[in-house]
Amino acid sequence: MKGILLAGGIGSRLLPLTASFSKHLIPIYNKPLIYYPLSTLMLAGIKEILIVCTPRDLKMYRDLFGSGSDFGISLTYQEQVKPNGIAEGIKLSRKFLNGDEFCLILGDNVFHGPGLGRDLMKHRGVSGGIVFGYQVKNPQDYGVAKFDAGNVMVDIIEKPRIAPSNIAITGLYFYENKVVNLVDSLKPSDRNELEITDLNRVLLQAGELELNMLPRGSSWLDTGTFDGLHDASTYVRIIEDRTGISIGDPKDVARNQGWI
pLDDT tens-place string over residues 60-94: 999 999 999 999 999 999 999 988 999 999 999 99
The residue that leads in pLDDT, 92 or 217, is: 92
Tell me how far CA of residue 231 lies from CA of 28, 65, 168, 236, in angstroms. Answer: 9, 26, 18, 9
Task: 226-233: list long-range contacts, CB under 8 Å, 24+ apart.
Answer: 226/13, 226/14, 228/108, 229/14, 229/26, 229/28, 229/33, 232/28, 232/29, 232/33, 232/36, 232/110, 233/27, 233/28, 233/29
- Measuring CA to CA, which residue among 183, 158, 209, 18 is closest to residue 86? 183
- The CA radius of gyration of the chain, in Å to the nearest whole number, is 17
The residue that leads in pLDDT, 111 or 215, is: 111
Tell me how far CA of residue 157 lies from CA of 76, 142, 150, in angstroms. Answer: 33, 8, 18
Instruction: Indicate the pLDDT class of residue 118, thresholds 50, 70 and 90.
Output: confident
pTM confidence score: 0.95
Q: Please say if the pLDDT value at position 200 is more than 90.
A: yes
Can you give the pLDDT at residue 119? 87
Instruction: Indicate the pLDDT class of residue 192, thresholds 50, 70 and 90.
Output: confident
Can you give the pLDDT at residue 116? 86
Give just the sign of the alpha carbon dihedral 33, 37, 43, 49.
negative
Average pLDDT of the residues of the chain: 94
Cα-based angle 167, 172, 175 (whole degrees, multiple of 5): 110
Domain of residue 108: give its range.
Answer: 2-257
Can you give the pLDDT at residue 6? 97
Instruction: Indicate the pLDDT class of residue 252, thresholds 50, 70 and 90.
Output: very high
Cα dihedral 72, 78, 80, 86 in deg (nearest 10):
-50
CATH code for position 147: 3.90.550.10
- Based on the structure, what is the number of domains in the chain? 1
* From 82-96, 111-125, 193-207, 222-236, the region with the lowest mean pLDDT: 111-125
Cα dihedral 181, 61, 29, 47 in deg (nearest 10):
50
- Measuring CA to CA, which residue among 105, 137, 104, 109 is closest to residue 28? 109
Cα gap 92→141, rounded to integer Å: 27
